[in-house]
């Protein structure tokens, strides 16, 4: 027989043996399936949480922090080495002005009232990321129609807007709306672009307001903040008692509420950029601000994810417990297979007596456990899919976090076949040690 037909013959033998022992086979398959199902569910969530959301650029995009906090105590008493994770409005604006040709953006989340034309639809509120023109090329944002706005729109505070796909669907039925106008906050905005589905997971550019939220409904220029008196819907942190009685006073306050990202040409430029930040802070110290010791930092994307602990502890605990679960399943599988092979002593003796070599018996047993493992893996994948739907329902996660991607499917199949074979090695070895004569005697 050629190798291929031998394999086919072994698979046939395996299927026959599985059918002869339906209860034991069912139990074995179920044990593998449940183990794979549980561990794949938790592993998928963990994998997506800890994934690199922008692999091509994660080492050249940096989040910026400046230590403008109180001279009396650090921003985070538990981690005194850290600066506040957001900038004050005045520092963010100043850094953009000192860009020196680098791509960078200050940003925050706000919300605006959209007034649809006519009286039929009521005005409604929509979320907006208030940012700079550089946001779109920096973060590789994909566009469906049009594109981002020009840097000139940043300077002149032009009322332009880039719509998210969902909002474009609600307002314009999903058609190309570039050039259309929308009335928001009593002003007329021009649509310059519509972004395509964009779900970086985690949402690396703003882990502060949640690493796993949906992308904002729209994007508008940062320079409109002053014109429209836009408030942040995200968090703001302050330490200085300041009397604030106007929006301008708020913008000039020591409150930290602006997120800041810069793109460098290479990771090597990091220290140059830090020196640039230190120089800025040194200037500010002369004005009586930044009373703490120099403590400015930049974090690349993955460091920034680590900083904000975007992978929930619960997710790690679940991965750990579910892999112990998989261990239990493998142990059960070994016990079940061993028992089953003991029951097949007669059959194996006959095959050995008829000339089958130990190696052939061993191979045939391994094919059988691989088939069992593979079947268990398929059922396990189905279970994992159900598990992810359950997680989605329980945690109300955004779409990105519970996708069973190809990587995870292949991982699942690999793990199930591997654990099946691992579980089968010892029983198969035991099976091939069976003496041909010893068993035949008692028959």
Partner 1 sequence: MGFRPMISSLLRNKTGPLLVTLQIAVTLAIVINSLFIIVQRVEKMNRDPGIDVANVIVVDVRGFGADFDVQDSVERDIALLKSMPGVVAATVTNHVPLSGSGSGTGLRAVADETIAPVGTARYRWSEEGLEALGIELARGRNFLPAEVDFILPDSEPPAPPSVLVTQALANDLFGDEDALGKTVYWGDMQGSTIVGIIAHMHGSWVNWDKLGNVVIQPGKPLFTSNRYLVRTEPGLRDGLVPVIETKLGELNRRRVVKTVRTLEDMAANSYRQDRGMAIVLSIVITLLICLMVLVIAGLSSYHVTQRRRQIGTRRALGATRMHIIREFLLENWLISAAGAALGAVLTVAVAWWLEVSFQLSPLDWRYLPAGVLLLWIVSSLAVFEPARRAASVPPAVATRSA
Q: Is 395 exposed, middle or buried (0-12, 13-18, 19+ CB in 10 A)?
A: middle
299: nearest Cα among 407, 221, 207: 207
How many angstroms separate the Cα of 283 from the Cα of each of 235, 250, 289? 27, 22, 9
Separation of alpha carbons 13 and 156, rounded Å? 77
Q: Concatenated DSSP letters for 11-57?
A: HHHHHHHHHHSHHHHHHHHHHHHHHHHHHHHHHHHHHHHHS-S-TTT
* Site residues (CB under 8 A) for partner 1, limited to 339-368: 339, 342-343
Q: Is 316 in the site for partner 1 (CB under 8 A)?
A: yes
Q: Is 335 in the site for partner 1 (CB under 8 A)?
A: yes
Site for partner 1 in 223-242 (CB under 8 A): 231, 239-242
- Closer by beta carbon to partner 1, 184 or else 281: 184
- Residue with Cβ nearer partner 1 (338 or 350): 338
Candidates 43, 87, 96, 318; binder of partner 1 (CB under 8 A) is 318
To the nearest 10 degrees (0 to 180), the angle between helices 22-50 and 313-343 is 160
Maximum Cα–Cα distance across the chain: 101
Out of 8, 98, 113, 275, the only residue in the binding site for partner 1 (CB under 8 A) is: 113
Residue 317 is a binding residue for partner 1 (CB under 8 A): yes
Tokens of 249: 């006073």
Kindly tell me which residue out of 12, 16, 20, 73 binds partner 1, with binding defined by CB under 8 A.
Answer: 73
Taking CB under 8 A as the rule, does residue 331 contact partner 1?
Answer: yes
Could you say which of 29, 391, 408, 412 contacts partner 1 (CB under 8 A)?
A: 391
Radius of gyration of the chain (CA): 31
**Under the criterion CB under 8 A, does residue 214 sit at the interface with partner 1?**
no
Give the footprint of partner 1 on residues 257-296 (CB under 8 A).
none
Alpha helices per DSSP H over 51-189: 89-97, 135-138, 151-156, 165-172
- Which window, 6-14, 52-60, 69-77, 300-308, contacts partner 1 (CB under 8 A)? 69-77
Contact call for residue 250 and partner 1 (CB under 8 A): yes
Output the smallest distance, CB 410 to partner 1, in A.
Answer: 24
CA proximity to 215, closest of 109, 89, 59: 109
Q: Is 23 in the site for partner 1 (CB under 8 A)?
A: yes
308 φ/ψ angles, rounded to the nearest 5 degrees: -95, 5
**In this chain, which of 79, 97, 243, 359 binds partner 1, going by CB under 8 A?**
243
Q: Does 421 bind partner 1 (CB under 8 A)?
A: no
Q: Under the criterion CB under 8 A, does residue 310 sit at the interface with partner 1?
A: no
Pairing state of beta strands 181-184 and 124-131? Answer: unpaired
161 lies in the site for partner 1, by CB under 8 A: no
Cα distances (angstroms) measured from residue 303 to each of 49, 52, 80: 14, 11, 17
Residue number with CB closer to partner 1 (150 or 242): 242
CA distance 73 to 45: 37
Residue 244 makes contact with partner 1 by CB under 8 A: yes
Site string for partner 1, 25-64 (x = CB under 8 A): --x--xx--x---x--------------------------
According to the binding rule CB under 8 A, does residue 395 interact with partner 1?
yes
Q: Which of 17, 295, 332, 419 binds partner 1 (CB under 8 A)?
A: 332
Report the alpha-carbon distance of residue 282 to residue 285 in Å, rounded. Answer: 5
- Smallest gap from Cβ 240 to partner 1, in A, equals 8
382 binds partner 1 per the rule CB under 8 A: no
Tokens of 5: 């037909």
By CB under 8 A, is residue 386 in contact with partner 1? no
Strands (E), 91-186: 103-115, 124-131, 143-146, 160-163, 181-184
Structure tokens at 303: 């460091």
Q: Which residues bind partner 1 (CB under 8 A)?
A: 23-24, 27, 30-31, 34, 38, 72-73, 77, 113, 115, 122-125, 185-186, 231, 239-247, 249-250, 312-314, 316-318, 320-322, 324-325, 327-329, 331-332, 334-336, 338-339, 342-343, 390-391, 394-396, 426, 430, 442
């Amino acid at each position: 027989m050629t190798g291929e037909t031998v394999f086919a013959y072994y698979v046939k033998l395996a299927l026959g043996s599985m059918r002869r022992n339906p209860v034991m086979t069912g139990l074995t398959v179920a044990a593998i399936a449940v183990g794979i199902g549980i561990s794949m569910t938790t592993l998928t969530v963990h994998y997506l949480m800890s994934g690199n959301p922008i692999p091509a650029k994660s080492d050249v995009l940096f989040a910026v922090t400046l230590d403008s906090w109180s001279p009396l105590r650090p921003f985070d008493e538990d981690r005194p080495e850290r600066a506040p994770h957001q900038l004050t409005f005045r520092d963010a604006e100043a850094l953009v002005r000192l860009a020196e040709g680098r791509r960078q953006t200050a940003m925050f989340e706000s919300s605006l009232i959209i007034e649809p034309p006519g009286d039929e639809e009521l005005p409604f509120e929509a979320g907006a990321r208030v940012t700079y023109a550089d946001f779109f090329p920096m973060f590789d944002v994909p566009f469906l129609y049009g594109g981002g706005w020009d840097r000139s729109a940043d300077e002149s505070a032009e009322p332009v807007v880039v719509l998210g796909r969902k909002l474009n669907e609600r307002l314009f039925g999903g058609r190309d709306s570039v050039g259309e106008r929308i009335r928001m906050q009593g002003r007329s905005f021009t649509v310059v672009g519509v972004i395509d589905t964009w779900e970086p997971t985690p949402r690396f550019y703003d882990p502060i307001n949640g690493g796993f939220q949906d992308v904002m409904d729209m994007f508008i220029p940062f320079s409109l903040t002053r014109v429209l008196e836009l408030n942040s819907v995200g968090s703001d942190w302050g330490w200085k008692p300041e009397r604030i009685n106007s929006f301008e006073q708020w913008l000039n306050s020591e409150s930290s509420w602006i997120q800041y990202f810069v793109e460098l040409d290479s990771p090597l430029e990091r220290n140059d950029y830090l020196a640039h930040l230190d120089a800025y802070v040194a200037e500010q110290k002369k004005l009586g601000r930044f009373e703490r010791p120099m403590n400015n930092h930049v974090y690349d994307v993955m460091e920034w994810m680590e900083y904000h602990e975007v992978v929930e502890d619960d997710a790690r605990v679940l991965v750990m417990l579910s892999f112990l679960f998989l261990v239990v399943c493998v142990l059960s599988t070994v016990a079940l297979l061993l028992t089953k092979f003991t029951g097949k002593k007669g059959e194996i003796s006959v095959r050995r007596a008829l000339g089958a070599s130990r190696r052939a018996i061993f191979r045939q047993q391994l094919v059988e456990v691989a088939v069992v493992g593979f079947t268990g893996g398929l059922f396990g994948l189905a279970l994992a899919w159900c598990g992810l739907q359950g997680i989605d329902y329980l945690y109300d996660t955004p779409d990105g976090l519970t996708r069973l991607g190809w990587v995870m499917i292949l991982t699942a199949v690999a793990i199930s076949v591997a654990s099946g074979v691992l579980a089968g090695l010892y029983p198969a070895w035991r099976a091939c040690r069976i003496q041909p004569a010893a068993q035949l005697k008692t028959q």
